[in-house]
Structure 1
Amino acid sequence: MGAAVRREVRAVLQVLLGAAVLHISLFSELYLRYVRKALRPYLVATGVLLVLIGLVSAVCVVRDLWRGGQHDDDHGHAHAHHGHAHGGSRIAWLLTLPVLGIFLIAPDALGAYTAQRSVDTTVKPAGAGGFPPLAATDPLPLRLADFDALALWDSNASLKGRRVELTGFATPKKDGGWYLARLTISCCAADAQTSKVEIRGVGAPPSGAWVRIVGIWQPDGPPGQGGALPVLAAQQLTGTSEPGDPYE
């Protein structure tokens, strides 16, 4: 009986975990708080597989229980083993709580807390100095990571005098002032990298608030050198809601 109970818990966990994966990837966009959009088909396939495995396991457990389960000839040993398994199964059932939490609680994406405790991780892109021409749009919408790369490494200073539009969340500087920040992921939230732009000319919104800013790049050093700082002289600040995909 103890073995059957353990298998039952395992089957329930597999079904619940698979259903949770399907819930966040197939019926909502919560998965974007964990992984990139391109991984959605793999999440759906994983969720379906987990549910199927759990259902097959559950059918096997029910079949064994219907046939009378497994018996131990040593009744004293069986009784002790049953008590141990029963206590272990109660603990195992607690493992369902985190899975159920996915259905009941929508987790927040990484944000200001992470960005405030990380350094600017903008790295020199491959072929830096040979950036493609920028569109003539005014203001020019840019990803925060792209703005950082251009500000730090574009030796042609193509941002000079251009009005750009950036979207991100506010995070305070340790020595006063604030950054506009955004997190970039290659695969999942665990590998998130932080892009930051120092904002000057407007007061800081509350930490974590999402805003859209129009402004002009203010170089603090010659482009193409690590001493150049990504700074934006803000002309306009507008509050906005968190994007469906919070990562770049």
Structure 2
Amino acid sequence: MRRTFQPLLLLLTGAGLLRVSLFSDIGLRYVKEGLQPFLVASGITLCALGLIGARRDGLPLLGRRQEHASPQSDGGTQSEHGHDHSHGPRIAWLLLLPALALLLFAPPALGSYTAARDNPKIVEDYERFEPLAAHGPAPLSLTEFIARAQQDDKQSLKGRTVLMQGFVTPGPDGTWDLTRLLVACCAADAQSLTVTVHGAKAPPADAWVKVTGTWHPRGALGTYSAALALDVATIERIPEPPVPYIDRAPAVG
């Protein structure tokens, strides 16, 4: 690529990173929240390197262009060996595509397409379970619902209405799952948590919903035979949360 294109590419990439990490929460679609400061630092560094390169090469945006060409009979810019080094590998132009994508069209968070092609994750063992709220639907994450269904020998879910939220993953024959994705670092290592929903028509794929319901009685609560399923009572459409993923941290109860 031309030398003048190199700093421009650095500036575009840095600006794209800052757009998704400093000026919005879009970056949380790709990395866990704790890594957002590193995206900001990377964006600032790339922009700084781009500006330094632009100043070195005398780009018009920073003032009068510097002339690096040495007088030659054909007016070209050549090295002392007579070869033109103003171009690098042409494949480097492909780096322009992700840079423009970050600036103009930020890809969405992972959703039902990923979850439908993933093996559901088995949650870590809980050391203890806190008592559920005495009245009203008990708010639970999908992680805790799954852990209580499979691990709680006191069967705390029995007969209790719970409140959970996640996105819709369509299944076969009109079935659907309430889903969340867990990440350890970024979207590349995401794994799914799913709870099958009974008693309601599937909302659109990837729609975020809040549901209330009771454990679907199949298998034995407190054992790994317990169904990871819910008999739904109410469904409410909600906006996608700013942090769409769950941090894959060890469960403590």
TM-score (norm 2): 0.83
The CA RMSD measured in Å over matched residues stands at 2.3
1:102 aligns with 2:102: yes
After superposition, where does 1:8-157 map in structure 2 within 5 Å?
A: 8-62=4-58, 66=66, 68-69=68-69, 71-74=78-81, 77-78=82-83, 81=84, 85-86=86-87, 88=88, 92-127=92-127, 130-157=128-155
Indicate if the aligned counterparts of 2:10 and 2:50 stay in contact, CA closer than 8 A. yes
Residue of structure 1 in register with 2:75 after alignment: none
Deviation at 1:175, TM superposition (A): 5.3
What one-letter code is carried by the residue in structure 2 that aligns with 1:194? S
What one-letter code is carried by the residue in structure 1 that aligns with 2:233? Q
Question: Which residue, 229, 245, 248 being the options, matches 1:247?
Answer: 245
Higher helix share: 1
Residue of structure 2 in register with 1:181 after alignment: 179
Question: Which residue, 202, 218, 223 being the options, matches 1:220?
Answer: 218
Indicate if the aligned counterparts of 2:214 and 2:230 stay in contact, CA closer than 8 A. yes
* Per-residue Cα deviation, 1:179-233 (whole angstroms, up to 9, x for no partner): 1111122221111111111111112222222221110112422234222221111
Structure 1: runs of 5+ lacking an equivalent = none
Indicate if the aligned counterparts of 2:149 and 2:157 stay in contact, CA closer than 8 A. yes
Deviation at 1:109, TM superposition (A): 0.8
Take 1:159 and 1:209, find their aligned partners in 2: how far apart are those partners? 26
Take 1:12 and 1:67, find their aligned partners in 2: how far apart are those partners? 18
SS of structure 1 residue aligned to 2:19: helix
Take 1:112 and 1:139, find their aligned partners in 2: how far apart are those partners? 26
Residue of structure 2 in register with 1:210 after alignment: 208
SS of structure 1 residue aligned to 2:58: helix
Deviation at 1:99, TM superposition (A): 0.5
What one-letter code is carried by the residue in structure 1 that aligns with 2:221? P
Deviation at 1:172, TM superposition (A): 2.2
Indicate if the aligned counterparts of 1:168 and 1:182 stay in contact, CA closer than 8 A. yes
What is the total number of aligned residue pairs between the two structures? 234
What one-letter code is carried by the residue in structure 1 that aligns with 2:68? G
1:236 aligns with 2:234: yes
Deviation at 1:69, TM superposition (A): 4.6
Structure 2: runs of 5+ lacking an equivalent = 60-64, 71-77, 247-253
Deviation at 1:135, TM superposition (A): 2.7
Residue of structure 2 in register with 1:163 after alignment: 161
Q: Which has the higher mean CA deviation after the structures are superposed, 173-182 or 33-42? A: 173-182
State the percentage of identical aligned residues: 44
Take 2:95 and 2:184, find their aligned partners in 1: how far apart are those partners? 30
Residue 207 to residue 19, structure 1, CA distance change in 2 (3 Å): same
